Amino acid sequence: MPPRARRLTDADKASWASYVRLIAPLPSKTGVPAPAPVLPDPPPPAADLPPQPRVPPLIARPRAKPPVLSVGVQPGGVDSATWQRFRTGKLPAVRRLDLHGMTAQRAFHALVAFLRTAHADQVRCVEIITGRGSGESGGVIRRELPFWLNLPDIRPLILGAAHPHALNQGSVRLILRRIR
């Protein structure tokens, strides 16, 4: 048994008719010219219409782009005492992510998932362990981490970054922004 057809109300029919008047068909490939679009009727006087509720805009205002994140540089928004505790490693990391042995691509995806989860769980301090790597400039993950932290998807989540110990460059602690 086929489902029953739903009846349209007069308001639905009027809404559809006003929508159809705004549409112009696409020009066909046969060369037949498309008819000129019909201009909409002027709106009725405001006295006849009931007041419409105010709808907030769908797109939020764009926020200012956060400054470039540098490891070890005190950011704005963190007081000196908190930054000192954070920089010296006295502010404990609630979660840790160890990227040892991962390829750069796998490490990047693990980092993004880790930071989004920690931020959603309102964790304040996390630690990323990249390892020191071999060679003078360190491993690939250690070199790429500052670039990854400044990507547009990740940067808004992070407030500041520092090495918990000056002699251990293979670990970075991050202060995450609070959800407002």
For residue 11 the two structure tokens come to 């308001």
Contact 71, 87 (CB under 8 A): no
pLDDT at 139: 77
Contact 132, 115 (CB under 8 A): no
Report angle CA 175, 117, 169 to the nearest 5 degrees: 40
**DSSP structural state of residue 165:** B
**For the chain, which ranges sit under pLDDT 70?**
1-3, 28-53, 55-64, 134-138, 166-168
pLDDT at 113: 93
pLDDT at 61: 62
Q: Which domains does the chain have, with CATH numbers?
A: 93-176 (3.30.1370.110)
pLDDT at 135: 65
pLDDT at 106: 93
Q: How far is CA 164 from the centre of its chain?
A: 28
Residues 115 and 56: their CA atoms lie apart, in Å, by: 30
pLDDT at 34: 59
pLDDT digits (tens, 9 = 90+) for 1-24: 566 777 888 888 888 888 888 887
- The whole-model pTM stands at 0.60
For residue 151 the two structure tokens come to 């990507």
pLDDT at 29: 60
pLDDT at 35: 61
